[in-house]
Amino acid sequence: MSVAEDMVRGTRTMLEVCVEDLHGIDAAIAGGADRIELCAALGVGGLTPPASLVRAAAASSEASGVPVHLLARPREGGFVYTPREQALIADDIRTAAEAGLAGIVIGALDANHRLDLPALAALVAHSKSLGDARGRPLSLTLHRAFDLCRDMPDALESAVTLGFDRILTSGGAPKAVDGVEMLAALHQQAAGRIIVLAGSGVSPETLPAILATGVREVHASCRTPSATAADPAELRFGFASPGRAATNRDAVERLANMVARHPALE
């Protein structure tokens, strides 16, 4: 875990913003995000971003002090990965470590909708080895593959045993506000051994109910429809999507201010 994260862990509520481009990085930092999750293709839940964007995010992180975590997800769809796909994830973790990012976000399931313990154990060991080699550990987040687990309380115990620092989850519902009962139960079960990071549909309207579960880290995209309409020719050729959205600095700031006003832990 980075020094910046370690200083605030357990003392105040934190906002993580997921972004997919340079504009998103800049908007999240300017709006007051506590941490950034770096992705590509947020429209399908996020995929691994290109190495060039990773390096740019690392430079922005160094300049601003805002930690950046890399999502390592090699393709859209489910989370049952072949050995070759697991090797891609391992290589992406190395990219994050060598670029100087603060952490990585990974996950994998088996065919029975349980965590793929052998695959995750190998990836966690790889991450820890890379952290040791650079003299600064990589913070480890288990991503929302967790929400597809048939037994989430059991999966939480596995995540603790594996050595994850946090779990990104919506409580098993498509939107976190609809999974508040499970989020509260998971937070209570975690008992300080692992952080429950609540994400999906986090907004100023849903934030109070989500924070009422006891969680102290929330994850949001803070995206709004793009102010710039796509060129009709770009749409016709399929080079742009009609419903483009972008990280909005004001949306980040509004949510960050609400999070900052939440009472600190004793």
- Predicted confidence (pLDDT) per residue in 104-152, tens digit: 999 999 999 999 999 999 999 999 999 999 999 999 999 999 999 999 9
- Average pLDDT over the chain, rounded to whole? 93
Angle between helices 152-162 and 117-134 (to 10 degrees): 30
pLDDT tops 90 at residue 234: no
As given in the structure block, the two tokens for residue 56 are 């740019």
Position 226 scores a pLDDT of 77
Contact 70, 101 (CB under 8 A): yes
Assigned fold of 3-260: TIM Barrel (3.20.20)
Task: Select the more confidently predicted residue: 160 or 262.
Answer: 160
For residue 124, give the 3-state DSSP assignment.
Answer: helix
Distance CA 214, CA 212 (A): 5
